[in-house]
């Protein structure tokens, strides 16, 4: 079969896995008006000049955030599709075959102010409020963790970045930038009230003030300034927000005479997640630089969607029997992944989390080649590596570990809305894939299945099916933040202190794999060993590709050297092992010698 321009039409050739073969870069032009219209939307959203109808969404630079924007644009054009559909079909040809021609209104009606609360709660609202709606269950969990009296102040985040800027600093422009961004975004004018209404509520105010303090560090050397900024962060971590008073965000500038300045951001995590946070950082710095140059920032048109729409999605998910059935089956059929008890230090107390990790930039070409060969995404590659490492910590054949999911509404402009759009949910894993290709495809398919159920909140899963109340020790977060202009914001200089209640979090961000460990559950040595294990897995995936052995045990260099090293020759002895045991029987016959499950045997019994 050939296309209209005489090229081989590879859509008609079945691949071994039952899908259609891709073109490996060969351009296949649209054949009808529907394909042409959909390809035009893809070009606009993905910012590419040409989209062949068999080009993979992921090969064209697609990711989950671009999928949200793409679906929003396609729905505005009348196509009844979802992000799950884009992930599953992921070419223009297959998506058109699935969705058919455009027809009707595919755009959901946005939530109106005060629509999600009853009249009794609305009557209790103070003056100057422009909207109020229920607090999301994950937001509530974060707020409770923040307020817990454990000296850790989880989800009270402090980070800092170096800003390249050789012009004199303007405190007035810094403060004015704060006023402008607060006026633009509801999230920065939102307060949290846990007890005054029929349910925990978030309240959007017409006006709010954000702290924009300036600290003078001129005259100090670079390392001295950094030390000052680090010490400032420690002090700010001990200074929690009053949740009832917006803005629940603070910006601080540390001025220097070193060709730039530091910006410290103090964040109440229940109001923002990572994408919103990085977008806000870049917007704030850009607004400041524009004002400092004596110019007027461009007007920002608010998108038609708001964070209230995400809350409406959560409320709908809680009423969905299909969502409830999906999570009931997953949790009941997959054991929770538990970190080895011996890896931690129970006496560590409340200490700063330990961070370790490495850059995978030197492996990127091989990893992206594996993503292309499997017709999946870089997220699927990194998540597969994570699950492979986790599988080496347990004997369970079927288990689950946490995955951070984005719950933004699938409408145009959703990527420009600030809010806490995260939901960390159990992700299923079944042991048995023999190659990296099979593992990555299986993991990607599981993500596609999960996507349509991602709005069912974790706290509801915990309450209904966790039993013991603890569902996961570890979560994985794939972050592809591309908002920062690195010529202005030096992302590599960043300092971050964002603790959670999870024993271990694993993040893939900006070419790095970052492990953040609670020392009570993972010692620094254990965390470093685990990071080396991730490195070994990714090296194999990059070097061996689709046919690489996914069943092998991948150890760090140090652990592998210890295993293959010749045995240590010790001083000779005339006492044999069984004689040592017999002597122990005589000395302490009642001491426990063997433990297996609920069975204990003393030396005498053995």
**Distance of alpha carbon 391 from alpha carbon 387, whole angstroms:** 6
The secondary element (H helix, E strand) that includes residue 424 is strand 422-430
Closest to 265 in 3D by CA, of 497, 477, 97 = 497
**pTM higher than the cut 0.85:** no
Q: Which helix (H) or strand (E) holds 182?
A: helix 171-184
Strand partners of residue 204 = 131, 190
Total count of residues recorded for the chain: 606
Report for 39-53, 144-158, 198-212: range of highest mean pLDDT = 198-212
> What distance in Å separates the CA atoms of residue 596 and residue 603, rounded to the nearest whole number?
14
Averaged pLDDT, 508-530: 92
Distances (CA, A) of 186 to 113, 284, 291, 305, 416: 12, 15, 22, 11, 12
Map 269-326 to HEC letters. HHHCCHHHHHHHHHHHHHHHHHHHCCCCCCCCCCCCCCHHHHHHHHHHHHCCHHHHHH
| Signed CA dihedral, 553, 556, 558, 561: sign only | positive
Does residue 14 have a pLDDT over 70? no
Q: How many CB atoms lie within 10 A of CB 73?
A: 18
Q: Which two tokens stand for residue 292?
A: 């400092």
pLDDT at 1: 43
Q: Cβ contacts of residue 223 below 8 Å, gap of 6+?
A: none
pLDDT of the residue at 18 = 38
Look at residue 28 in the predicted model and tell me its pLDDT.
84
Q: How far apart are CA 20 and CA 325, in angstroms?
A: 31
DSSP per-residue codes, 137-180: HHHHHHHHHHHSSSS--TTEEEEEEEEE--SPP-HHHHHHHHHH
Peptide bond into 548 cis (omega under 30): no
Residue 5 confidence class, pLDDT cut points 50, 70, 90: very low
Q: Domains in the chain, ordered, with CATH? A: 10-99 (1.10.1200.10), 119-292 (3.30.559.10), 321-562 (3.30.559.30), 570-606 (no CATH)
Taking residues 360-376, report their average pLDDT.
95
Calculate helix-pair angle for 378-391, 364-373, nearest 10 degrees.
100
Angular region, 411: left φ>0, alpha ψ -120 to 50, beta rest: beta
Return the C-alpha torsion angle 154, 157, 158, 160, nearest 10: 140
Q: Rounded to an integer, what distance in angstroms lies between the CA atom of residue 82 and that of residue 447?
A: 14
On the question of pLDDT at 6 being above 50, the answer is no
Q: Which residue has the higher pLDDT, 492 or 538?
A: 538
408-446 pLDDT tens trace: 998 889 989 999 999 999 999 999 999 999 999 999 999
Q: Is 431 exposed, middle or buried (0-12, 13-18, 19+ CB in 10 A)?
A: middle
How many other β-carbons are positioned within 10 Å of the β-carbon of residue 482?
A: 11
Task: Give the Å distances, CA to CA, from 155 to 17, 241, 341, 482.
Answer: 43, 11, 25, 23
pLDDT at 3 over 60: no
Give per-residue pLDDT as tens, 99-146. 887 766 556 789 999 999 999 999 999 999 999 999 999 999 999 988
- In angstroms, the CA 272 to CA 159 distance is 14
Band (pLDDT 50/70/90 cuts) for residue 570 is: low
pLDDT tens for 467-490 read 656 788 999 999 887 778 889 999
CB of 41 closer than 8 Å to CB of 74: yes
Task: Tell whether the torsion through CA atoms of 364, 367, 372 and 377 is positive or negative.
Answer: negative
- Residue 312, pLDDT > 90, answer yes
Mean pLDDT for the chain overall: 89
Q: How confident is the model over 276-310, as pLDDT tens digits? A: 999 999 999 999 999 999 999 998 888 889 999 99
Calpha distance 452→374 (Å, rounded): 22
User: Which backbone phi and psi does 138 adopt, to 5 degrees?
Assistant: -70, -40
């Amino acid at each position: 079969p050939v296309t209209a321009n005489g090229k081989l039409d590879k859509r008609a050739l079945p691949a071994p896995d039952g899908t259609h073969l891709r073109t490996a870069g060969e351009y296949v032009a649209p054949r009808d008006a529907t394909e042409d219209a959909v390809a035009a939307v893809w070009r606009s959203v993905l910012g590419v000049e040409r989209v062949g109808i068999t080009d993979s969404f992921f090969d064209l630079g697609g990711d989950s955030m671009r999928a949200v924007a793409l679906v929003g644009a396609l729905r505005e054009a009348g196509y009844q599709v979802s992000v799950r559909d884009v992930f599953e079909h992921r070419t223009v040809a297959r998506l058109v075959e699935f969705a058919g021609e455009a027809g009707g209104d595919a755009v959901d009606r946005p939530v109106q102010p005060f629509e999600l609360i009853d009249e009794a709660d609305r009557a209790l609202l103070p003056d100057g409020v422009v909207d109020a709606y229920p607090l999301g269950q994950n937001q509530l969990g974060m707020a409770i963790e923040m307020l817990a009296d454990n000296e850790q102040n989880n989800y009270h985040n402090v980070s800092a970045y170096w800003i390249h800027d050789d012009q004199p600093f303007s405190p007035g422009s810094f403060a004015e930038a704060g006023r402008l961004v607060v006026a633009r975004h509801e999230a920065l004018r939102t307060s949290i009230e846990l007890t005054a209404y029929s349910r925990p509520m978030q309240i959007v105010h017409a006006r709010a003030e954000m702290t924009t303090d300036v600290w003078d560090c001129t005259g100090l050397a670079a390392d001295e300034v950094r030390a000052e900024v680090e010490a400032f962060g420690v002090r700010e971590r001990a200074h929690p927000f009053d949740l009832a008073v917006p803005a629940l965000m603070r910006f601080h500038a540390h001025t220097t005479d070193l060709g730039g300045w530091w910006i410290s951001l103090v964040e109440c995590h229940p109001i923002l997640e990572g994408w919103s946070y990085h977008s806000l950082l870049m917007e704030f710095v850009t607004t400041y630089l524009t004002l400092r140059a004596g110019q007027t920032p461009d007007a920002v048109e608010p998108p038609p969607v708001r964070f209230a729409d995400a809350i409406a999605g959560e409320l709908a998910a809680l009423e969905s029997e299909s969502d409830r059935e999906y999570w009931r089956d997953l949790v009941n059929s997959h054991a929770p992944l538990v970190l080895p008890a011996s890896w931690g230090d129970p006496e560590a107390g409340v200490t700063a989390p330990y961070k370790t990790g490495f850059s995978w930039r030197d492996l990127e070409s091989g990893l992206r080649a594996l993503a292309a060969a499997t017709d999946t995404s870089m997220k699927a590659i990194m998540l597969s590596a994570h699950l492979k490492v986790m599988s080496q910590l347990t004997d369970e054949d079927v288990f689950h570990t946490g995955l951070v999911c984005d719950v933004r509404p699938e409408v145009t402009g959703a990527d420009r809305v600030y809010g806490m759009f995260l939901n960390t949910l159990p992700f299923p894993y079944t042991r048995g894939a023999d190659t990296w290709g099979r593992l990555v495809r299986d993991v990607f398919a599981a993500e596609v299945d999960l996507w349509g159920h991602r709005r069912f909140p974790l706290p509801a899963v915990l309450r209904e099916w966790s039993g013991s109340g603890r569902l996961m020790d570890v979560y994985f977060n794939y972050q592809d933040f591309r908002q920062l202009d690195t010529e202005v914001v030096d992302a590599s200089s960043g300092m971050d202190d964002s603790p959670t209640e999870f024993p271990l979090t694993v993040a893939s961000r900006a070419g790095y794999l970052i492990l953040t460990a609670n020392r009570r559950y993972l010692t620094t040595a254990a965390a470093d060993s685990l990071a080396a294990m991730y490195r070994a897995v990714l090296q194999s995936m990059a070097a061996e590709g689709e046919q690489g052995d996914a069943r092998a045990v991948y150890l760090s260099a140090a652990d592998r050297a210890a295993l293959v090293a010749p045995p240590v020759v010790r001083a000779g002895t005339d006492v044999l092992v069984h004689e040592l045991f017999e002597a122990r029987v005589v000395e302490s016959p009642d001491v426990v010698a063997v433990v297996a499950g609920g069975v204990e045997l003393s030396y005498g019994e053995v």
